[in-house]
């Protein structure tokens, strides 16, 4: 790290209500990062979580290159939706541009997660979508988990690939080819849940395939399961097209 805490931009001129949201999200996004290593989704410093700041064109995201144990609410970086740092002592995650692209193009999305979790990334390395062959997948993803294009980090190619692939699917997760997983949710916690579930079903379907041919679930049954899960199951009202449970 070339950055030193305190060397970044100073506190921006931000409305008090938005400031309170930012402070809440710094703590929430920091805490959610602990769920990535505890669920076995990341190695070393890879993986990141971000949250959109409601009522502002801003997002809170992980700093680049810090160990998970070092993360604090204060070390989270506040960026605009073009990926520019607004407040933060550290450089933001190298995936910030991809998160920002998703927020710009999907206004209902409040959280984005990226991991290289093992089984899901193995599917991405084959360029193969995970077929919907277990009811938990029908519930959570409403069908297959699709594969997006191969894209190099650094311009808008990853963000564009995520959006274009998700547009044709109900899944809140996409496997970017030869890379890893991006998930979306109505908030950062929902996106983390989708990342955990993605790895879980990637592993199960991998094992099923290793020992035989998984049996497809008919489309009508996938639709019924997904509808029940997103409209009836759980304690919360349904979101607008974004998985939330
Ligand atoms: Zn990555």
In CATH, what number is assigned to the domain containing residue 94? 3.40.225.10
Q: Per-residue pLDDT for 41 more than 90? A: yes
Q: Shortest CA distance to 61 belongs to which of 114, 118, 116, 7?
A: 114
Say if 63 falls within a structural domain.
Answer: yes
Chain centroid to CA 76: how far? 16
Give the pLDDT confidence score for residue 201 in this predicted structure.
98
The answer to whether residue 243 is domain-embedded is no
Query: Does residue 226 fall inside a structural domain?
Result: yes
Domain that holds residue 210: 16-231
* Distance (Å) from CA 142 to ligand 1 centroid: 25
- Quick check: 79 pLDDT over 60? yes
- According to the model, what pLDDT value does residue 6 have? 45
Distance 222 CA to ligand 1 centre (A): 30
Residue burial 141-152, b: 16+ Cβ < 10 Å; e: rest: bbbbbbbbbebe
User: Does some domain include residue 84?
Assistant: yes
Asked if the model's pLDDT at residue 122 lies above 90, the reply is: yes
108 alpha carbon to ligand 1 midpoint, in Å?
A: 23
- Give me the residue label for tokens 């547009």: 167
Query: Per-residue confidence at 154, pLDDT binned at 50, 70, 90?
Result: confident
At residue 11 the predicted structure's pLDDT band, cuts being 50, 70 and 90, is confident
**Local structure of residue 92 (DSSP, 8 states):** B
Mean pLDDT of 110-133: 98
How many structural domains compose the chain? Answer: 1
125 domain-assigned: yes
The residues annotated with a catalytic role in the active site are 114, 116, 139, 179, 233
Distance (angstroms) between ligand 1 centre and the Cα of 144 equals 21
pTM, full prediction: 0.91
């Amino acid at each position: 790290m070339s950055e030193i805490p305190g060397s970044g931009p100073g506190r921006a001129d931000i409305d008090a209500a938005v400031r309170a949201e930012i402070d809440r999200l710094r703590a929430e996004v920091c805490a959610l990062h602990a769920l990535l290593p505890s669920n076995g989704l990341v190695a070393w410093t890879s993986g990141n979580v971000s949250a959109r700041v409601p009522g502002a064109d801003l997002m809170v995201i992980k700093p680049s290159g810090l160990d998970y144990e070092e993360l604090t609410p204060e070390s989270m970086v506040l960026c605009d939706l073009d990926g520019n740092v607004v407040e933060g002592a550290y450089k933001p995650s190298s995936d910030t541009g991809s998160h920002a692209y998703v927020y710009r193009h999907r206004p209902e999305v409040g959280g984005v997660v990226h991991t290289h979790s093992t089984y899901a990334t193995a599917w991405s390395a084959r360029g193969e979508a995970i077929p919907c062959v277990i009811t938990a997948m029908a519930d959570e993803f409403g069908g297959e988990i699709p594969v997006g294009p191969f894209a190099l980090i650094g311009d808008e190619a990853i963000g564009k690939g995520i959006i274009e692939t998700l547009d044709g699917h109900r899944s809140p997760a996409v496997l970017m080819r030869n890379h890893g997983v991006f998930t979306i949710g109505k908030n950062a916690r929902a996106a983390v849940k989708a990342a955990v579930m993605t790895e879980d079903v990637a592993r199960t379907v991998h094992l099923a395939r290793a020992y035989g041919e998984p049996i497809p679930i008919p489309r009508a049954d996938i639709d019924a399961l997904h509808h029940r899960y997103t409209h009836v199951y759980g304690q919360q009202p349904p979101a607008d097209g974004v998985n939330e449970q």
